[in-house]
Structure 1
């Protein structure tokens, strides 16, 4: 356990979260410390505020996006600060200003995470300035101080990028590898008979969403870099090759999907399951080590002999298989052998990833430039047309903007009516809690209030135990670092650190120790309550409304994925780039469907429409793509020698069922099941013939023969076709017409 904690601590220290927290802390603390030393603490705090708000907009991205984002955020923060400062004496006009700013900056979410964070930084500076009252002259002075803080942070961030331009990409890639290791670790639980398979599925599906998010983040950072696309530097080439291996390995992990209930029943009381569980955990540990090494820009060396571990598991399987008396019984275990085939290829990829962390080994390595890596990234439109097109109630971001504006104006007016001295704390809570979806707002409300309570108790304890300002200042520095380091890693922990940081800051500015603590808690509860109520009452965005679209996209992407994979089994030309793009789309659409369903489960019971059917549909979607991945893995790892004409007919049959599911979800057209093609029976007859022939060969003492190879190949393909047919039949039963979900 201690070793695990040590590894997690090391992973966090080398992560983007910690380096971002360190950079933000440095940019915030330095101006305040310098100006405090010369007797102008409030000047330093204004500069620090500009740095902090600009830091929020500095999300990972290419240097062009980073630079443009910093410039835009600097300009908008200055305009917001100037407008707020000048309007402070006129609260009726200020109320309208709060509403307009809240709406406009919330709408920036249409431009993605970077746009949303720029808006958040602007709202934060607006709320912070409402804590004081300024004359027009003072407002202009403070606005320019905030502008200087924004410029200070922008210059610092760009300088650090110039010093280590690949650091963020390495950390993001390392995080992606570690999350894939966690995904593999969770899948190992399928091989523990004492674990509930349904619970394990839920955890695996949730982690699959995270892995997909991390892969998308790496694509946006790495594959848009010109040096990565051209492979002009060893480090960029290394990261591209590691990422390509990682994505291929992720597909192979998914391809290990089997009937786990059948697995546990078949191997109950044997060493097979326990050996497999132990082996897969070893693989996850090795993957974890690679992820940490990549994040830390270090070399990675294997710590476990994975080939030996895999051999132990194989030996346990073969020992059990040898106890079965007939060829038919032994042949029934063939589909379980795919687990070992996949692990064998995963072993090779892990060793290759270890090798690729050593840059001198990368010089002679190359990747296929025909992959056109830029096609695997998404283009974000930053134009006025996108903004104008979202000015409609059909846009959930528009509804979010209206909700946020109304909530902020209500919070401000409530504070004025109750004569609260720190109304801005209410507004600050609303800003950070309000999200486009109800479930996210609910989660943030709980995390914010819980973290504030814990942090308040901690701050009160420190202030009660000591009056030494040096001790309090050092504690505040630790809290600043913790707050910004955990902000994108573990939000509730970030809030726990943020609360004492603000209380200690107020202790230095306006000593009123315990009053600051209690009012912080009270205002957080009020702000959280307002955000929760407004998100529930005013045009809420319930997840069930988005599920039909996600279901259709998932089926459609799987159709394209299956079509591309089946080109390997027929005479049609196979395109590697088309196949990989189809695979990426499946991962994205399946993750989006899963994430939307998970968010729906945290919404009120009355808004959880057709929960049971949708859960089965989500699980079956995962199984569908896993079985297609098995077909892909088998064809790519083995040269198919016996392409059967039946495969084309079976493909058309499976695609027809997928079309029917898509049509039913879209328009409610329930169609009769298509007739099972004769190709299934023909394939079964051929396999039965080969089994009999092989039994005769065994009786005659013949070893490996062509008939044996054909039998193994056809049986594997037949098993996957049957599994796909079964999954699609179940998906058709679980599918729900979109109108039923939305209108019921």
Structure 2
């Protein structure tokens, strides 16, 4: 379950704060306008505020201002054009088709542009509901702009005042996801759980974690931190150091299960990892409450029992595959992880001290850049562009929805049907399918709930209170449980009708029928000009391969001491994680598509897991060299690593000449305690690289490719 769905954590999350902020702003502006004007004026201002509020998402201040300003200007223009066209039916329908198409083309700019697409469609539908004279259209657009600008001003002031709180909440969310990720790792030591299924679950969670960590970077690391924000920077860096430690324990499950099944060791390891997950969660919990966390978790019973079990094992020999040595190495990593969690707690309570980054460090490669240029949009005005085909699909579906509503045997709210289509019809089939289910179930529950409210609650003040709650609940659950948002939206719409048109009968039944009609039309058009996931798999697979090679190069430079610091390593690791997350997300969406449109799902899943293992091996190598730094024979280790990386590139399809062997000292090698674990780690790294290459070949065959191609169609795949 998502952490924000639990009452214990919901009311301290940025989701709840966002919903409360939006409800206060929209309802407050509406009542303020109603106090000085009439109800139609107040409703027009409320519509502008409500539409602008849909752009009020957690973002850096500059990005938020640009996004909300774009929403206000775009939607005000749409409201004006549609209202001016409303008296002439053929002109109105032409404008609706054009607006639907152009609004949907904006999704070429990525996920951040999707709210703007929906807001533009929402405004278009509301503005087309009744014919207006030119003067009325100008007045309507002006009031809409006033409501949007008023809400934007309010939201920017509130977010600016609470910017540190927002950073805390987003950082805490990343910690919650790291805790969930660590908790899944605990299940890898449970013999009752199949390891492949748990590994798949782990990789899926890693994709979610990468997204939340990026959101944390964008807020915490952007700009110069204030004095009271330095603690957030320290916790952020401690979180990533902890993540690398957790990642490094990812490669030895199969061997440990094979040799220690049925004994006390595996349950002890699982219990320790589970406690660590809860310990990380406690740090996140304290962060959301604006207080330092403390290392209160007692690991001593499990550590003592594990130490007893380790002493009972026979001594490890020099064989690098010795399971006892692997177990002791895993135990050491878990101890390091516990120590790092203690550092995480300590960082949350440190007010002074230096920041964990060099002064003047360029953090731009780690941050999301906001780029909207007309060239990207124009470049996608072609038949082969998925965004272009999606835009055509939306324009056709909304046109059919509005036309169909005119043939219904009752006075239909045509915009309800069209709004359902806009909500359900998404760029991918799997997203459309999920939204359809959530919309139908949520609308049904919302209609029943509203009927009960209107039946038993008659006080206007009480109904306004329920309306406020519904207005807050909609944005609160938008990105974590859309079904709840659909319930809130139905309650909100029907209560507004009940408050403003008390004697309007049949609104609930009509809402249900219009939603059902919209869902049917959206479902039909999800098969029109389809955009199946397998069409983008070649680019995503190649992106993972390219990021893999860049990460290996950066890791080699770091491990061989050729890099002054680990900045390039961290950048390439982020790029590799992002590429894996994109492929993993596409694979998940593909599995929701018809079976005839699925390509090599098992091989793609294996390819993703094996690439993830490569990243874990690199993290383990780095920690291994740090652990065995005493008496390290630098020349011999560097020669071994150089040969290993050369073979690794050859296995992955980027072969190069191996370096000449360096003269080594047998005495020095024998005296170094890390020699056996290093050889074992490199052997496992080579084995997993071979599996990556094998999976890549099978995937190429399944996708009908005869060679690896490097593509750069980021404009087409930007919405993935």
Indicate the residue corresponding to 2:66 in structure 1.
68
Structure 1: gaps of 5 or more residues: 664-673, 691-705
Matches for 1:377-526 after TM superposition, within 5 Å: 377-418=367-408, 420-511=411-502, 515-526=506-517
Name 1:669's counterpart in structure 2: none
Q: Superposed, which structure 2 residues align to 1:263-662 within 5 Å?
A: 263-306=256-299, 308=300, 311-312=303-304, 314-322=306-314, 331-360=322-351, 362-369=352-359, 371-418=361-408, 420-511=411-502, 515-538=506-529, 540-570=530-560, 572-573=562-563, 575-639=565-629, 641-643=632-634, 644=636, 645-659=639-653
Encode CA deviations 1:129-151: one digit per residue, 9 max, x unaligned. 23344333333222222111111
Q: Indicate conservation of the 8 Å contact 2:204/2:584, yes or no.
A: yes
Tell me which moved more, 178-187 or 312-321: 312-321
Tell me if the contact between 1:27 and 1:48 (Cα under 8 Å) persists in the aligned partners: no
Following superposition of structure 1 onto structure 2, how do residues 246-265 of structure 1 map, counting pairs within 5 Å? 246-265=239-258
Can you list the C-alpha shifts for 1:207-231, whole angstroms capped at 9, x where unaligned? Answer: 111101111212222322x213xxx
Higher RCO (C-alpha under 8 Å, 6+ residues apart): 2
Describe how 1:110-259 pairs up with structure 2 within 5 A.
110-224=108-222, 226-228=223-225, 233-259=226-252
Asked if the contact 2:54/2:475 (under 8 Å) is kept, the reply is: no
In the aligned structure 2, how far is the partner of 1:456 from the partner of 1:274? 49
Q: Give the Cα separation in 1 of the matches to 2:582 and 2:4.
A: 33
How much has 1:304 moved relative to structure 2? 0.9
| Cα root mean square deviation, aligned | 3.0
Q: State the shift of 1:412 in Å.
A: 1.2
Deviation at 1:355, TM superposition (A): 2.1
Residues 54 and 118 in structure 1, CA contact (< 8 A), matched pair in contact too: no
Identify which of 726, 729, 733 aligns with 2:690: 729
For residues 286-343 of structure 1, the C-alpha deviation after alignment (integer angstroms, 9 at most, x for no partner) is 211222322332222222134x366335414414424x69776994321233323322
Q: Return 488-497 or 336-345, whichever deviates more.
A: 336-345
2:76·2:144 contact (CA, 8 Å) conserved in 1? yes
- Give the Cα–Cα distance (whole angstroms) in 2 for the partners of residues 33 and 571 of structure 1: 65
Shift of 1:716: 1.2
Cα distance in 2 for residues equivalent to 1:588 and 1:326: 40
Distance 2:272 2:132 in 1: 66
Distance of aligned partners of 1:139 and 1:6 in 2 relative to their CA distance in 1, 3 Å threshold: closer
Structure 1 residue 429: Cα displacement: 0.9
125-134 or 483-492: bigger deviation: 125-134
- Cα distance in 2, alignment partners of residues 269 and 632 from structure 1: 32
> Which residue in the other structure is 1:51 paired with?
49
Say if 1:651 and 1:317 are closer, same or farther in 2 by CA, change over 3 A: farther
1:77–1:122: 8 Å Cα contact kept in structure 2?
Answer: yes
Cα offset, 1:38, TM superposition: 6.8
Report the secondary structure of 1:557's partner residue: helix
SS at match of 1:227: coil
User: Could you tell me how far apart the structure 1 residues matched to 2:698 and 2:255 are?
Assistant: 32
1:197–1:39 distance in 2 versus 1, CA, 3 Å: same
Q: Which residue of 1 aligns with 2:84?
A: 86
Where 1:303 maps in the other structure, the secondary structure is: coil
Residues 372 and 6 (structure 1 numbering): CA distance in 2 closer, same or farther, change over 3 Å?
closer
With over 3 angstroms needed to count, the CA separation of the structure-2 counterparts of 1:124 and 1:313, relative to structure 1, is farther
Residue by residue, what CA displacement relative to the aligned partner does 1:715-741 show, whole Å, maximum 9, x if unpaired?
A: 111111111222122223322466644
Shift of 1:467: 4.0
Q: How far off is 1:366 after superposition? A: 4.4
Q: Is the 8 A contact 1:59 1:114 kept in 2?
A: no
Q: TM-score, normalised by structure 2?
A: 0.90
Query: The residue matched to 1:731 in structure 2 has which SS?
Result: helix
Distance in 2 between the 1:653 and 1:715 partners? 19
Q: Per the alignment, do residues 12 and 203 of structure 1 end up closer, same or farther by CA in structure 2, a change over 3 Å counting?
A: same
Aligned partner of residue 191 in structure 1, secondary structure = coil
> Equivalent residue for 1:106?
104
Is the aligned partner of 1:26 residue 2:19? no
- Contact 2:446 2:488 (C-alpha < 8 Å) held by counterparts: yes
Q: Is the 8 A contact 1:503 1:513 kept in 2?
A: no
Per-residue CA deviation, residues 61-118 of structure 1 (Å, 9 max, x unaligned), is 2222222222222111211111122222222211111111111111222233343322
Could you say what secondary structure the match of 2:506 adopts?
Answer: helix
**Aligned positions of 1:686-725 closer than 5 A:** 710=672, 712-725=673-686
CA distance in 1, matches of 2:657, 2:373: 51
Preserved CA contact (<8 Å) 1:183 1:207: yes
C-alpha distance in 1 between matches for 2:177 and 2:126: 36
Higher mean C-alpha displacement, 308-317 vs 109-118 = 308-317
Cα 1:592/1:626, change in 2 over 3 Å: same
Residue pair 1:234, 1:359 contacting (<8 A) in 2 also: no
- The answer to whether the 8 Å contact 1:234/1:363 transfers is no
Is contact 2:106-2:113 (8 Å) kept? yes
Kindly indicate which of the two structures has a greater share of residues assigned to helix: 1
Q: How far did 1:549 drift?
A: 1.7
Task: Tell me which moved more, 422-431 or 562-571.
Answer: 562-571
1:284–1:309 distance in 2 versus 1, CA, 3 Å: farther
Per-residue deviation, 1:188:
0.8
The 3 A distance-change label for structure 1 pair 496 and 199 is: farther
Using the alignment, how far apart are the partners of 1:110 and 1:313 within structure 2?
Answer: 56
Please list every run of 5 or more consecutive structure 2 residues that lacks an aligned counterpart in the other structure.
706-720
Task: Give the 3-state SS of the residue equivalent to 1:473 in structure 2.
Answer: helix
Q: CA deviation at 1:573?
A: 4.3
Partner secondary structure for residue 166 of structure 1: helix
